[in-house]
């Protein structure tokens, strides 16, 4: 039979965890900041040991606070975001913080803009299309001549975790490689 909530709580030692949390919650601000600093460094060092990179998925206020906190304690984790999915005011903050979003087109230098369309198909299902396109499609770019209009698929982009999609990552990688040559 499936485990019920009480059984699960007992298995994971929830009472103990809640009690510990309540103790920490009562501590003062300095204690909490210091505690967070230690845990952040532990996490960072553990990742380094396993040869893994770290990054911060930056969306709204909470994750921006985390990014700034990490920088303040000397952890330089790059912020990653699908900035185009965010409100204009947040986009401006992302830009200031140097959060990674899609690189401009290496051919014409224009920004690539995120688009999200949804429509109902003939089976009554809602279909969502996500892609990036030149911010203004009036001007010509060599990419648009090859494929009109030129789009980068972003079907797997996820605004919750700030993931720009694998095609977009590939695009950024190519632009970076081009820049370093």
- Helical (H) or strand (E) element with 120: strand 112-120
Q: Does 141 bind Zn ion (CB under 5 A)?
A: yes
Q: Which is nearer to Zn ion, 74 or 149 (CB)?
A: 149
| Interior angle at CA 98, CA 96 and CA 103, nearest 5 | 120
Which residue bears the tokens 């996490």? 43
Instruction: Identify which range of 13-21, 46-54, 64-72, 106-114 contacts Zn ion by CB under 5 A.
Output: 106-114
User: Applying CB under 5 A, which of residues 24, 107, 115, 140 lies at the interface with Zn ion?
Assistant: 107
Pairing of strands 126-134, 112-120: antiparallel
Please report, for residues 2, 3, 46, 134, 155, the alpha-carbon distance to residue 9 in angstroms, rounded to integers and kept in the order given. 14, 10, 28, 51, 37
Answer yes or no whether residue 112 interacts with Zn ion by CB under 5 A: no
Q: Please choose, out of 64-72, 88-96, 104-112, 119-127, the segment that lies near Zn ion by the rule CB under 5 A.
A: 104-112
108 sits near Zn ion (criterion: CB under 5 A): yes
The least distance separating Zn ion from the CB of residue 167, rounded to whole angstroms, comes to: 15
Residues that bind Zn ion (CB under 5 A): 105, 107-108, 141
């Amino acid at each position: 039979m499936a485990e019920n909530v009480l059984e699960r709580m007992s298995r994971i030692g929830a009472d103990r965890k809640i009690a510990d949390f309540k103790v920490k919650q009562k501590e003062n601000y300095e204690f909490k900041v210091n505690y967070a600093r230690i845990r952040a460094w532990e996490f960072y060092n553990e990742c380094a040991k396993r040869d893994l990179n770290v990054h911060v998925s930056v969306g709204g206020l909470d994750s921006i606070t985390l990014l700034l906190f990490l920088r303040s304690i000397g952890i330089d984790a790059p912020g990653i975001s699908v900035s185009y999915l965010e409100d204009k005011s947040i986009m401006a903050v992302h830009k200031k913080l140097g959060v990674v979003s899609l690189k401009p087109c290496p051919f014409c230098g224009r920004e690539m803009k995120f688009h999200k369309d949804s429509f109902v198909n003939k089976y009554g299902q809602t279909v969502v299309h996500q892609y990036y396109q030149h911010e203004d499609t009036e001007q010509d770019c060599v990419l648009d001549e090859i494929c009109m209009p030129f789009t980068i698929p972003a079907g797997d982009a996820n605004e919750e975790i700030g993931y720009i999609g694998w095609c977009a990552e590939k695009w950024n990688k190519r632009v970076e490689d081009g820049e370093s040559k």
